[in-house]
Chains A and B, each alone.
Chain A
Amino acid sequence: MLTALVLLPAAAAVLLLCLPRSTPRTAFRVVWVAVSAAVLALALAVWAGYRDAGGIQYETHARWIPSAGIGYHIGVDGLSLPLLALTAVLFLACSVHALRGTHRVREFAALFLFLETTCLGLFAALDLILFFVFFDLSIVAMYFIIAGWGHKGAGRAALYFFLYTFLGSLALLLGFIGLYLAAEPHTFDMVALTAQNPLAGRSAYGALVLLALGIGLAVKTPTVPFHTWLPPAHTEAPAEGSAILAGVLLKMGTYGFLRIALPMLPEAWRSYALVFVVVGVVSVLHGALVALAQTEFKRMIAYTSVNHMGYIVLAIGAAAAAGGSTGDARRLAVTGATYQMVSHGLLTGALFLLAGVLYERGRTYDMGAYSGVAATAPVFAALTGVAAFASLGLPGFSGFIAEFQILTGSLGPRPVATGLAVLGILLTAALFLRALQRIFLGPLRLPEAPGTARPFADIRAHEGVAIVPLLALAVVLGLAPRFVLDVIEPASRDVLELLAR
């Protein structure tokens, strides 16, 4: 079942490429949306069959390259299940949002479906090499999406993105090899490595492996100072590409921390947790402050991702703090970190799709070029307003549930760092209010660039169908979080138990 879920989109991508070029575009679009919907249905079926008790379920273990200790090992638990569902939801939203696209539809659809396989595969992978393969393939697919369908400076930005994150993945591979060599017998199997805790008592070796893993995952997350690939990649990428890049691909970094670094290197993590706490806080504040200084809407959202992902790094850093009475608090922090991945995926996905709408109408992301857009596009303004308020952590949306858990959970173990990170909430409020104020409120003024003769149209049906469910889901997760928390909480308890070894 899980294998079908993972491989279905790639199979569909191959099918699309086999269809003759002369096939009407509509057929490609229909296949794309239908396959994405089928993947979501499969993901929901997996969720429906998942038992809340925790542990790895839907496990598949096949021989692949046994001589090197590599196997095709996949499964889901409380950490990966919400992310699998998020991936399916976001890819469906993007396929709907791209319904009006005209530029090489067949290749675009095929690339997205292939990318979906790499994302699903990564979250399901229980073998380090499998994880690494999907990790790298996602970079490749995203490179082509940015370079092929991006804006003016896309080629350069795509190359920058590719080289930077690829370099990160090499560091990751080094770390994986370090783990492999330390294990006895040598293996890349995550379950075996987690159970073995191969670097127990070897602090220098553990520190080096953690350094390699940390750099690799920090580049992907991204945290300060490895975040500079993010703004150009987002600014130049097409809207759907940005939504997936920020919504799903960034989660690979933080997911890697929770799946690999914490359980397999508990000693090293505990010794160097403070580094991650500091990196997290700096990311929170630096991301928010730099976002505050941006004049381009999309670049600003890109920087808020640095801020939001910083909370996750802070939480998993704080989770390692010692102390008897803070056990519940740390579980709250880890649960909040996982919740934040889902929440940020939905909200930032919606925001990037909305930024795409803005660009499609006005041909610029420059906030200064717009004013009073709410007059001609009230629904667009309302949706962006809702997404912005949700993203600044307003209660009633998923972001609050996530950030509240992270902040309250981290305060006990790391009071000073968390006290500083709380300021991030105020800064994001300021920057989103300012953006709303500049673009949507005040007297009407639209950019006068070539190609903007058309009036600023309000949200079209396919855009609404793509964006509204994301925001609706954010509300559901904000008001009734239990059905997701029941899945995550056992997993975060397991992570903390592994970390305490």
Chain B
Amino acid sequence: MSAPLWALITVPLATGTVLVIAGRRADRAAPAAGVAAAALALGLALLAAFRQPSVSAALLADLPFGLAADGLSGVLAVTVAAVTVAVLLFGVGDIGPGEARARFFGLMLLFSGAMLVTVTATTLPALLMSWEVMGATSWTLIAYRWQDTVRVAAAGTAFLTTRAADLGLYLAAGAAVAGGRTEALGDLDRLSGPWLHLATAGVVVAALGKSAQLPFSFWLSKAMQGPGPVSALLHSATMVVAGAYLLIRLGPLLAAAGWGADAVAWTGAGTALALGLVAAAQRDLKQLLAASSCAQIGFMVLAAGVGSTVGGTLQLIAHAAAKSLAFLVAGYWLTWLGTKSLPELRGAARRRPAAGIAFTVAALGLAGVAPLSLWAAKDVLLAAALERSTGLYAVGLAAAALSAVYSAKALWYVWQPRPDRPSRPDLPPYARRTVPRLPASLTLPFAALSLATVALSALVLPPVREALARTLGVTGTMPNAWEFALSAVLAPAAGAVAWAWGARRVPLPTPVIRWVSGWLGLERAAHAVCVRPVQRLATALAAFDDRVLDRGVEGLARGTVRLAGVMNRHAEAAVDGAVQGVAAVSRGLGRLARRPQTGQLHTYLAQAVAACTVLAVVLVLVR
């Protein structure tokens, strides 16, 4: 019964490890092995989702390594595995035969395997282990083209930011141990007193960091430096959604702590709104999509905060399909047209309509256009938000309109007529290139993900939605008809305005535009508040070590040597002088004692008389 679950995590992790260790020797076999392992994992995920097994192995004292597939994690595991297959298929075409393919496919499998462990984890060690491995593999994937220092630095920023937030999970684990609730993740809400609040805060910080919510959002912008397939996987079904998933999973903990649910809901809503604005202000397609990831995941976090498991899960699945598709097309354009700048991508969709249509499906999905599934997902979770607070609902609705705006903006650029007059010197690079026909390794994932994005609309239908709710084992608020209608009108309307607006400048002061398009200056703030002070402190402490501590010890040693010199010169002279003095005095006394020894009888007689006289006098006086 437990075999499929162990196999589910072992297949991608073991295949990935073997590929990475084999290195360039396995480059030829890597694509086939990678896709096969991912496909096998998909099959196993489906099996696990239906059988719902659970396994546990002893790891630390009272802290076992546990995995289980229940309704929620089963659905998530299938989503992760499916997106991985599509992205790896795309990778076969995108990562050319000349590149380190074994490393690429191996790391992607490790990354996705770590996400599979994250979603199925039932104990803290299992969660934390996969959580951190996912962060580290994201570093290796973003820095895949390691010769480029910019990409490597970006990878460092992404890893360090997420790891900073991960510290929260360490604290949460410590709180669980201190409070005696170590057996399972689900027990965390039974903690009491300060441990409950510490665990909640730790989980929330870790989740917000991983999901690139405010104020951690900037790392996702940096993560864009990775190859196209990496962005597609990282931004859709893995890594960034891990945080939202954890919050959905640990809803009872948020509720038990009292403040947790509200904090999470408002952070999610705020991120959806603010990063929606950031997305709308981008002129780079991948940056636009990255900001949109933060914003869309903001909705999932909002759902977790208001306790809408169904809405959050719907949003997660639908977003995974649409966003991975959008990133794959963006990656395709980047590889074949050599640009990700929106103005340079004018007309890109018209050059290869298959890719263009796929992108359109993805963008419409992200825009929340009815009847595509993100439309209904947002309404389901916003209905729960409305129950909590009208303000939350209004912010969410505004953020939903924004998602239509940035999607329409991207679509507007790529569907513009191609700039003609190809002899112009400032001609976009792609205009000079010949774009080859789409290979099967690209059309297949495009088609599959487009189909998935459209097909997931079925989740909108009430019976399907209720079936999902039953699978997840929850009953949630369902939106009223007017809410569906409102958002069904709102999205196209906002999109139409954005389309009509086109490439014209927004009438706002330049600093404001620059602030928003620069991801709200978050990275600069992090540098000013955290990075630079720490660096300065490190330098100061190193100087303290060298100049004070080390010098102090050396000074002690030197002082000892100097003391020895002083002793040598002064104390030694004194002691020696004393000895010499005793000798000199003895010698003098000896010389004096020799004086009376004259050898003449009369002197001896005189001495005897004198001595007797003295004796007699003494006797008389003493008596």
Interface string of B372-398 (1 = CB under 8 A from A): 000000000000000000000000000
A408 to B124, CA, bound (A): 11
**B528 part of interface (Cβ distance < 8 Å):** no
Question: Cβ of B174 and Cβ of A408 under 8 Å apart?
Answer: yes
A375 at the interface (CB under 8 A from B): yes
Chain A proximity mask over B515-538: 1 for CB below 8 Å, otherwise 0:
000000000000000000011011
Q: Which residues of chain A are near B549, meaning CB under 8 Å?
A: 225, 227-228
Chain B residue, CB-CB nearest to A410: B174
Which positions 142-192 of chain A face chain B at CB distance < 8 Å? 160, 163-164
Instruction: Point out which of B133, B182, B542 has the most chain A C-beta atoms below 10 A from its C-beta.
Output: B542
Contact yes or no, B178 A326, CB < 8 A: yes
- Residue B152 CB within 8 A of the other chain: yes
A372 and B170 within 8 A (CB): no
For window 535-566 of chain B, which residues contact chain A by CB distance below 8 Å? 535, 537-539, 541-542, 545, 549-550, 553, 557
Is residue A269 contacting chain B, with contact meaning CB distance below 8 A? no
Kindly state whether residue A331 has any CB partner on chain B within 8 Å. Answer: yes
A229 to B556, CA, bound (A): 13
Contact of B170 among A286, A408, A433 (CB under 8 A): A408
Bound Cα distance from A413 to B174, whole angstroms: 10
Q: Between A and B, how many residue pairs show CB distances below 8 Å? A: 149
Q: Are A441 and B160 in contact (CB under 8 A)?
A: no
In the assembled complex, the CB of B72 is this many whole angstroms from the nearest CB of chain A, namely 23
User: Which residue on chain A has the smallest CB distance to residue B546?
Assistant: A228
A 337-371 contacts with B by CB, 8 A: none
Nearest CB of A to B120, in Å: 15
User: Is A254's CB within 8 Å of the partner chain B?
Assistant: no
- Whether, in the assembled complex, A280 has its beta carbon less than 8 Å from a beta carbon of chain B, the answer is no
Assess whether B23 is in contact with A378, with CB atoms less than 8 Å apart. yes
Is B170 a contact of A328 with CB atoms below 8 Å?
no
User: Which A411-452 residues sit within 8 Å CB-CB of chain B?
Assistant: 411-413, 415, 418-419, 422-423, 425-427, 429-430, 433-434, 437, 440-443
What is the distance, in angstroms, from B484's C-beta to the closest C-beta of chain A?
A: 44
Q: How far is the CB of A469 from chain B (nearest CB, A)?
A: 14
Q: How large is the interface on B (under 10, 10 to 19, 20 to 34, 35 or more residues)?
A: 35 or more
Residues of the A chain whose Cβ atoms lie less than 8 Å from the Cβ of B132? 394-395, 400
Alpha-carbon gap, A489 to B147, bound state (A): 46
Interface centre among B59, B148, B174, B180 (most CB of A within 10 A): B174
In the bound complex, residues from chain B placing their C-beta under 8 Å from that of A372 are 147
B62 at the interface (CB under 8 A from A): yes
- Provide the residues of chain B in CB contact with A227, threshold 8 Å: 549
Is the CB of B467 closer than 8 A to any CB of chain A? no
Interface residues of A in 263-306 (CB under 8 A from B): 286, 289-290, 292-294
CA gap between A123 and B306 in the complex, in Å: 57
A86 within 8 A of partner (CB): no
The number of residues on chain A lying at the interface, defined by a beta carbon within 8 Å of a beta carbon of chain B, is: 61
Contact A482 B58, CB 8 Å, known A404-B170, A442-B147 = yes
Q: Which residue of B lies closest to A389 (CB)?
A: B136
Q: Are A443 and B125 in contact (CB under 8 A)?
A: no
Contact in complex: B61, A328 (CB < 8 Å)? yes
CB–CB B147/A441 < 8 A: yes
> Does chain A have a CB within 8 A of B486?
no
In the complex, whether B257 has a CB less than 8 A from a CB of chain A is no
Asked if B143 and A411 sit within 8 Å, CB to CB, the answer is no
Which B residues are CB-close (under 8 A) to A328?
61-62, 177, 180, 182
Task: Determine whether A391 belongs to the interface, using a CB cutoff of 8 Å to chain B.
Answer: no
Minimum distance in angstroms from A309 CB to a CB of chain B: 16
Residues of A within 8 A of B541 (CB): 286, 289-290, 293
Instruction: Report whether B152 and A441 are in contact in the complex, using a CB–CB cutoff of 8 Å.
Output: yes
User: Bound state CA distance, A164 and B534, in angstroms?
Assistant: 30
Q: Most chain-B Cβ atoms within 10 A of its Cβ — which of A293, A389, A407, A434?
A: A293
A160 cross-chain contacts in B, Cβ below 8 A: 553, 557
Q: How far, in whole Å, are A482 and B61 apart by their CA atoms in the complex?
A: 9
B39 at interface (Cβ–Cβ under 8 A)? no
Contact check, B534 vs A437: say whether CB atoms are below 8 A apart. no
Contact of A481 among B59, B128, B159, B180 (CB under 8 A): B59
Residue B542 contacts which of A294, A412, A415, A485 (CB distance < 8 angstroms)? A294
A409 at the binding interface (Cβ < 8 Å): yes
Distance in Å from the Cβ of B434 to the closest Cβ of chain A?
31
From residue A345, how far is it (CB to closest CB) to chain B in Å? 20
A418 vs B545: C-alpha distance in the bound complex, in angstroms?
Answer: 24
A150 to B73, CA, bound (A): 56
A404 with B61: CB separation less than 8 A: no
CB-CB < 8 A to B538: which residues of A? 289-290, 292-293
Cα A363 to Cα B59 in complex, Å, equals 43
- Once A374-B146, A442-B147 are accepted as A-B contacts, the answer to whether A426 and B167 lie under 8 Å apart by CB is yes
Name the residue on A nearest B175 (C-beta).
A411
Within 96-136 of B, Cβ neighbours of A (below 8 Å) are at 125, 128-130, 132-133, 136
- Residue in chain A with minimal CB distance to B151: A441
Inside 8 A of A426's CB, which chain B residues have their CB? Answer: 160, 163-164, 167
Cβ of A332 within 8 Å of any chain B Cβ, yes or no, is yes
CA distance A400 to B175 in the complex (A): 18
What is the interface of chain B, defined by CB distance below 8 A to chain A? 23-24, 58-63, 125, 128-130, 132-133, 136, 139, 143, 146-149, 152-153, 156, 159-160, 163-164, 167, 170-171, 173-180, 182, 198, 534-535, 537-539, 541-542, 545, 549-550, 553, 557
12 A-B interface contacts by CB (under 8 A): A160-B557, A227-B549, A290-B541, A293-B542, A329-B177, A332-B60, A332-B61, A394-B132, A395-B129, A429-B159, A429-B160, A433-B156
The 8 closest A-B pairs by CB, nearest first: A411-B174, A412-B178, A395-B129, A293-B542, A293-B538, A292-B538, A289-B538, A408-B174
Knowing that A408-B63, A422-B170 touch, tell me 6 more A-B residue pairs with CB under 8 angstroms.
A286-B545, A395-B133, A408-B176, A426-B167, A430-B156, A481-B60
A residues whose Cβ falls under 8 Å from a Cβ of B: 160, 163-164, 225, 227-229, 286, 289-290, 292-294, 325-326, 328-329, 331-332, 335, 372, 374-375, 378, 382, 389, 394-396, 400-401, 404-405, 407-413, 415, 418-419, 422-423, 425-427, 429-430, 433-434, 437, 440-443, 481-482, 485, 489
